[in-house]
Amino acid sequence: MIRTDDTRQPTQPTGPTMHFDFATLSPLDRYKLLSSTITPRPIAWVSTLGEHGRPNAAPFSFFNVFGEDPPVLGFSVNDRSPGDRKDTGRNVRRNGEFVVNLVPLQALDQMNITAAEFAPEVDELHQAGLTPAPSLAIETPRIAESPVSFECRLVQIVELGPARSLIIGEILLMHVRDDAVLDAEKRYIDNARLALVGRMHGNRYIDASTSFELPRVDAEVWKLRA
């Protein structure tokens, strides 16, 4: 990695690499390798409505944004077993909507509570001491403790295997906490003030306090380098 403020040379290979043939590995072994190397991962703290209108929340770290026209994001659900769907997946299939809330450092413990395998009739928001806040475009509430929330309408569910599916949603409306908006007209957001956390591997997480700036390389300027 070269930054504009230093003169270090690009890193060089340090030795042989070990290979893992995924065709020969169990799903658990693949998960361990993927989740410990594709890091940090943003966390989708997904709120949905249960069958009787009871709020539900659960975190998913196989998550990202995939486009702006249309604005879409997606997260992957790993069900308990084939045919035994998690509450989030069932609720999205039934209602066709959900909210993706991002996780701030201050709410990390509360997010962890909602990751527990509660029964479908349990209100995870209540168990974690969270506050449901009304959405504007859909019925599903967002999580008030989250500094950023995306109200989403289901676009597609891609079945990836016997117990994993990718849920893709169109972002209808975005909420950002007032003190993190630098300039609403120019759409400038103070990312550092959001204090978001990401998932590493196992039970390890990371926050954005160690972030740094790396300007993009201009191809024409690069050609003229000494």
Span 38-213: which CATH code?
2.30.110.10
Q: Based on the number of CB atoms within 10 Å of its own CB, is 61 exposed (0-12), middle (13-18) or buried (19 or more)?
A: buried
C-alpha span between 47 and 56 (Å, rounded): 5
Contacts of residue 21, defined as CB under 8 A and 6 or more positions apart, other chains included, come to none
Amino acid at 116: A
pTM of the model: 0.88
Q: What are the residue ranges spanned by the domains of the chain?
A: 38-213
Tens digit of pLDDT for each residue in 107-116?
A: 999 999 999 9
Tens digit of pLDDT for each residue in 38-97?
A: 999 999 999 999 988 899 999 999 999 999 999 999 999 988 766 667 889 999 999 999
For 197-206, what is the mean pLDDT?
92
For 12-25, what is the mean pLDDT?
88
Among the residue ranges 14-28, 77-91, 122-136, the one predicted with the least confidence is 77-91
